[in-house]
Amino acid sequence: MEGVVAISGGASGIGLACAQAVLATDGAVAVADRDAAALARAAMLLEGPRTTTRLLDVTHEDAVLAWMEGLEGLSGCVTCAGISAHTPTLEVAAAQFRQILDVNVTGSFLVAQAAARRMAAGGKGGAIVLIASVSGLSGMQDRVAYSASKAAVINLAAAMAVDLARYGIRVNAVCPGPVETPMVARLHDAATRAAWTARIPMRRYATAEGVAQAVLFLLDPVRSGDITGQAIPVDGGFSTAGLMP
């Protein structure tokens, strides 16, 4: 893959897997994350001349702009930074709701917008992939804030795709189902895992590496050059399953 791919939330989980997938194609990555310890571990795993890392809070506009302005040859961007909470609707505090939307929606927008400006200025176009979720495609129990944020991310990709097509920039969303990531390990107890698995035709959680391959496809202008504004589930069939035994 030619050029540099910027990955927010790239120190663990899907973001780290995306960085490794890009490097495997001989591309270069710029990884940003707000978790200093995770970023240090990722820097060791990704060490090499084609990797840069940066401590970053995606909700801080000036910091995001400074990160993007330092990147030369930007051809791709993946917005992986996100947070979640499992709280029933009647118990969600306004502060928690706002925080989840701020990180997941505003943070995704700020990173994608800054990347798009760099790509448009470079005149060569590019590809942006927003990590959404199947929680943005259908209602999920106890996930009202998270579901609302990911639905917004899906529509954000569609709207940005229309605006940015004139610059040769494609924007798509990937909607994972449950994935074996550190965040899921913290949030999914045995009962939650059983409930998810019962509704997934493939009867298993996805891997971060598998989701990264879908992202890699959408970053590739040869394999996905006519795909933009789409929300693509990577969920083992969860979002389209009907009657199941």
Q: Read off the amino acid at residue 196.
A: W
Catalytic residue among 13, 84, 109, 146: 146
**Per-position pLDDT tens, the chain of length 245:** 899 999 999 999 999 999 999 999 999 999 999 999 999 999 999 999 999 999 999 999 999 999 999 999 999 999 999 999 989 999 999 999 999 999 999 999 999 999 999 999 999 999 999 999 999 999 999 999 999 999 999 999 999 999 999 999 999 999 999 999 887 888 889 998 998 999 999 999 999 999 999 999 999 999 999 999 999 999 999 999 988 88
Pairing of strands 28-33, 126-131: unpaired
In order of their start, the domains of the chain are: 4-234 (3.40.50.720)
Residue with tokens 């609707």: 89
pLDDT score at 188: 87
Is 205 catalytic? The answer is no
Please give the torsion angle defined by the CA atoms of residues 209, 211, 132 and 78, in that order, rounded to the nearest 10 degrees: 70
Collapsed DSSP state (helix, strand, coil) of residue 169: strand
The confidence score (pLDDT) of residue 211 equals 98
Buried b (16+ CB within 10 A) or exposed e, 16-49: bbbbbbbbeeebbbbbbbbeeebbeebeeebeee
Nearest to 212 by CA among 24, 4, 3: 24
State the pLDDT at residue 217: 98
Residues 200/239, Cβ–Cβ less than 8 Å? no
pLDDT of residue 1: 84
Written as six digits, the tokens of 97 are: 């709701």
